[in-house]
Structure 1
Amino acid sequence: MRLGTGRARSSGRTTSARDGSTRVVHQAASWCLAYPDEALVERLPLLAAATDELARGRARDGLRTFLDHAVATPLDVLQPDYVRLFDLSRKQALYLSYWTDGDTRRRGEVLAGFKERYRASGFLVDTRGELPDHLPLVLEYAALADPQDGTALLQEYRASLELTRFALIEAGTPYAGVLEAVCATLPGESPADKAAVHAMAAAGPPSESVGLDSADPRLLPLAGYGTTDGSA
């Protein structure tokens, strides 16, 4: 089942063939992790139908966990819950480089790298005011614009995804199921705990911080994860 277009807009380049179910998971997760609005409510039947067509497993189960919750929860409850979870707390940050670089000057260079990557793909990506590392945007890029590079980008920030997953599990929210689904599309098993995530990382924490205590849980030893030369 094809899901509709969103923030990523093709400039005409043909993408390589890819497992359609992975693209469905990425697009569905993109919509589920965006701020809930009437458009999400209208898409819930489509999302449920597309999810039911997936093979049984972690991705399907994770998406169903959230979709069942979204169907049963009024929009005026979903919206403040989303704000509380993602906007008023950074413990569940949806910005991939925030986990690796915190609030450092270096992060600006990383964000510029995301933008350059989108441009180099040959596709036009409308961030609609969001930072380019916002997970819903990255997922839609992977689903609609450049599946090969989008999946590679997600894999490079696998540690960020897994830490977000653990944070959402600890928060006791159905959104954890969406991260379960995304991680299930990537190669290899997910780490069993946070210690195992840190073992995946390739370098230490950022060397400078702006307005953050050195003990802040967001300044994690993940910078350089997914690279071969120790840089991110």
Structure 2
Amino acid sequence: MGSHAPIPPGAAYAVLGALLSYPDAPLLDALPEARDLLQDERGLTRDARAGLDQFIDYYAQRDLFTLQENYVALFDRGRATSLYLFEHVHGESRDRGQAMVDLLRMYEEHGLHLAAGELPDYLPVFLEYLSRLPPADARALLAETGEILQSITTQLAKRGSPYSFVVGALLPLAGIGKGEKPDTLHDDDGQQVPTPADYRALDAAWADEPVRFVGAATPAQAPIHFYDSRTGTRENRS
């Protein structure tokens, strides 16, 4: 892909969603194309693009088994880094059921039909949905998840994970934290990752903001009440 190739609307959401999905061989093969597309995405800050470039280097330099093992250890053990958005909002409350129904209906209205066992609050699925929306609607809906994304980014940075670059890149796409310049530290593999201090300003900015999920395409509709619970989630991921 040429450095000045036009970027399809929503493509960055789909690519970032893929990078946050369970690692597989097709994704490894697609890393060069993903790198080119993200480097040309105008909605990302220069620092976000640099971080994504480091993440792709990290990803490309490891074998698939190691990537999968690290992914499970990072995202399957504890709520703080969970990629299931409702876990950060509803916990184990009964609000989850209706929230899932509402979100799934919203997806289906835009032609996104999930396979058996897929949950709609899984961040890569949510990003795939955003990739199908008009840019302004996608940006507005992504901004509704800003507090959650910031929290996940902070927790990943505390663990020294290069995945903090990927989740963190969603913040400028939502219009959050533009101009932030991260310092860096190194994980056990020598990869640079942001420190928790990098996100302290965002912590303060979002501390008192309510979390709402409003359907971007139909902003007058009732809020989506994102739910939480890990029952059967990762076991059903293929």
Establish whether TM, by shorter chain, passes 0.5: yes
Mapped pair 1:135 → 2:123: yes
Query: SS at the partner of 1:49?
Result: helix
Structure 2 CA distance, aligned partners of 1:230 and 1:186? 18
- 1:86 is aligned to 75
Q: TM-score, normalised by structure 1?
A: 0.72
CA contact (8 A) 1:159 1:225 kept: no
Contact 2:24-2:64 within 8 A present in 1 as well: yes
Which structure 2 residues correspond to residues 27-176 of structure 1 after superposition, within 5 A?
27-55=14-42, 57-121=46-110, 123-127=111-115, 129-143=117-131, 145-148=132-135, 149-176=137-164
The normalised TM-score by structure 2 is 0.71
Q: Point out where structure 1 has 5 or more consecutive residues left out of the alignment.
A: 2-18, 202-221
Amino acid across the alignment from 1:125: H
Give the direction of change, closer, same or farther, for the CA distance of 1:225–1:138 in structure 2 (3 Å limit): closer
Structure 1 residue 79: deviation in Å? 0.7
Q: Percent of aligned pairs with the same residue?
A: 30
- The structure-2 alpha-carbon separation of the partners of 1:39 and 1:127, relative to structure 1 and needing over 3 Å to count, comes to same
Structure-to-structure mapping, 1:175-190, within 5 angstroms = 175-189=163-177
CA deviation map 1:172-209 (0-9, x unaligned): 100000011111101242762434432222xxxxxxxx
Shift of the 48–225 alpha-carbon distance from structure 1 to 2, 3 Å rule, reads closer
CA–CA distance in structure 2, aligned partners of residues 147 and 231 of structure 1 = 19
Q: CA deviation at 1:32?
A: 0.5
CA deviation profile, 1:146-184 (whole Å, cap 9, x unmatched): 244443332222211111111111111000000111111
Partner of 1:216: none
Number of equivalenced pairs: 193
Letter in 1 for 2:206: V
Deviation of 1:51 after TM superposition, in Å, equals 2.4
1: CA distance between counterparts of 2:177 and 2:8?
A: 18
Q: Flag as ranges the 4+ runs of structure 1 deviating above 3 A.
A: 19-22, 147-152, 193-196, 224-232
Give secondary structure in 2 for the equivalent of 1:160.
Answer: helix
The amino acid across from 2:74 in the alignment is L
Residues 24-59 of structure 1, C-alpha deviation per residue, up to 9 Å, x if partnerless? 321111110000011111111211222233356133
